Amino acid sequence: MTRRTEGRRPEGVSDATVEAVGAVTEAFETAERARGALYDFHQLSGSADEKAGHAVELLRAAGHAALADRLDRELIGRNVLPGRWTFQIVEEYDDGYHEVFRTLERATRDLVGGVRHVAEAELKERNTTPGEPGHELNP
């Protein structure tokens, strides 16, 4: 019996090419994780600013108007980087580095006919046990 996961590797594509394409895809997946962390940073920073705004109200109510005013003036709505709120950082990352990386990763996949995860599919073929429950190659 031939064990293939839908023949992902196009005819004539070398092991070295599959490995290289897999490495680019893995690098892009890491950039995707960085992008997720950047969105976490964006949302957490916004939440911190809102919570600080609530703290300003509590300080005022507790009779600490001068400190509340200082927090309100110096912190609330402050840029996290010169001239930038976090949404601007996210947009610049998405439109610059991330978009270029995504485009180049897709271009690299052209070397394997545009097929995704060729190396992983072949790893699955090598590491599964034929006939064993939970080791099916395809859904």
Structural domain contains residue 38: yes
Q: How far apart are CA 98 and CA 111, in angstroms?
A: 21
Total number of domains in the chain: 1
83-100 pLDDT, tens per residue?
999 999 999 999 999 999
Q: How far apart are CA 49 and CA 55, in angstroms?
A: 10
Structural domain contains residue 6: no
Range of the domain at 33: 15-123
Q: How far apart are CA 26 and CA 20, in angstroms?
A: 10
Structural domain contains residue 104: yes
Structural domain contains residue 119: yes
96-137 pLDDT, tens per residue?
999 999 999 999 999 999 999 999 999 998 999 999 999 988
Q: How far apart are CA 58 and CA 96, in angstroms?
A: 41
Contact between residue 80 and residue 86 where contact means Cβ atoms under 8 Å apart: yes
Structural domain contains residue 8: no
Structural domain contains residue 92: yes
Structural domain contains residue 137: no
